[in-house]
Structure 1
Amino acid sequence: MAPSTPYPRIWIGDDDKPSFQTAQELPKPSPGEVLVEVLYSGINPADIKHATLLGIKNTVAGYDFCGRVIQTEPNSIFQKGDVIAGYTPTNLKRPTKYGAHQSYLACPESMCFLVPENLPQSHAACVTVITMTAADAIFNLLKFPLPWEGRLPPKTAFLIWGASTGVGTSALQLAKAAGADPIFVTASKARHSRLLELGATRCFEYSQPDVVEQIQAAVKEAGAGPVQYAFDTAGSYSTPSTADLTARCVANTAAIVSVVLRKDKRFLMPLATTDSDVEIHPPELPVPITIPARKDASDRAYRVLHWAIKRYGKEFKIPNVKVLGGDAQEFMEQLQIAADGGGQFGRVVVKHPFH
Structure 2
Amino acid sequence: MYAITIPEPGGPEKLVWQEVPDPVPGEGEVLIDVVASAVNRADLMQRQGFYDPPPGASPYPGLECAGRIAALGPGVTGWAVGDEVCALLAGGGYGEKVAVPAGQVLPVPEGVGLKQAAALPEVTCTVWSNVFMVAHLRPDETLLVHGGSSGIGTMAIQLAKALGAKVAVTAGSKEKLDFCRDLGADVLVNYREQDFVEEVRGATDGAGADVILDNMGAKYLDRNVMALAANGRLAIIGMQGGTKGELNIGALLNKRGAVTATSLRARPVSEKAAIVAAVREHVWPLIAAGKVRPIVDREIPMRDAATAHQVLEESGHIGKVLLTLE
Give the TM bin, normalised by the shorter chain: 0.7 to 0.9
1:60 Cα deviation from its structure 2 partner: 0.5
Please report the TM-score for the alignment, with normalisation by the length of structure 2: 0.81
Structure 1 SS opposite 2:293: coil
1:256 aligns with 2:252: no
The Cα offsets for residues 74-124 of structure 1, whole Å up to 9 and x where unpaired, read as 7532222222111212xxxxxxxx411011111111111222441111221
Describe the shift of the 1:166–1:63 C-alpha distance in structure 2 as closer, same or farther (beyond 3 A). same
Runs of 4+ in 1 over 6 A off after TM superposition: none
Aligned AA for 1:71?
A
Describe the shift of the 1:72–1:199 C-alpha distance in structure 2 as closer, same or farther (beyond 3 A). same
Q: Tell me the C-alpha RMSD between the 2 structures.
A: 2.9
Structure 2 SS opposite 1:80: coil
1:32 Cα deviation from its structure 2 partner: 1.0
Describe the shift of the 1:210–1:115 C-alpha distance in structure 2 as closer, same or farther (beyond 3 A). closer
1:177 aligns with 2:154: no
Q: Give the Cα–Cα distance (whole angstroms) in 2 for the partners of residues 67 and 301 of structure 1.
A: 17
Aligned AA for 1:28?
V
Describe the shift of the 1:161–1:73 C-alpha distance in structure 2 as closer, same or farther (beyond 3 A). closer
Q: Give the Cα–Cα distance (whole angstroms) in 2 for the partners of residues 119 and 256 of structure 1.
A: 32
The unaligned stretches of length 5 or more in structure 1 are 1-6, 90-97, 145-150, 278-292
Please report the TM-score for the alignment, with normalisation by the length of structure 1: 0.75
The count of residues paired between Structure 1 and Structure 2 equals 303
Matches within 5 A, 1:114-129: 114-129=107-122
Could you say which residue in structure 2 is the equivalent of 1:290? none
Could you say which residue in structure 2 is the equivalent of 1:137? 130
The Cα offsets for residues 186-216 of structure 1, whole Å up to 9 and x where unpaired, read as 1221122332232211111111054443333
1:344 aligns with 2:320: no
Q: Give the Cα–Cα distance (whole angstroms) in 2 for the partners of residues 301 and 81 of structure 1.
A: 21
Aligned AA for 2:183?
L
Matches within 5 A, 1:30-45: 30-45=26-41
1:48 Cα deviation from its structure 2 partner: 2.2
Aligned AA for 1:331?
A
Q: Give the Cα–Cα distance (whole angstroms) in 2 for the partners of residues 301 and 87 of structure 1.
A: 8
1:335 Cα deviation from its structure 2 partner: 2.1
Aligned AA for 2:178?
S
Q: Do 1:122 and 1:323's aligned partners in 2 also have CA atoms closer than 8 Å? A: no
Q: Give the Cα–Cα distance (whole angstroms) in 2 for the partners of residues 341 and 232 of structure 1.
A: 19
Match of 2:262 among 266, 270, 282: 270
The Cα offsets for residues 198-245 of structure 1, whole Å up to 9 and x where unpaired, read as 22111111110544433332332xx6x133321113x266xxx24444
1:336 Cα deviation from its structure 2 partner: 4.2
Q: Give the Cα–Cα distance (whole angstroms) in 1 for the partners of residues 50 and 156 of structure 2.
A: 22
Aligned AA for 2:193?
Q
Describe the shift of the 1:113–1:251 C-alpha distance in structure 2 as closer, same or farther (beyond 3 A). closer
Relative to its length, the structure with more helix (as a share) is: 2
Describe the shift of the 1:189–1:247 C-alpha distance in structure 2 as closer, same or farther (beyond 3 A). farther
Aligned AA for 1:176?
K
The unaligned stretches of length 5 or more in structure 2 are 248-257
Q: Give the Cα–Cα distance (whole angstroms) in 2 for the partners of residues 251 and 69 of structure 1.
A: 46
Q: Give the Cα–Cα distance (whole angstroms) in 2 for the partners of residues 50 and 256 of structure 1.
A: 26
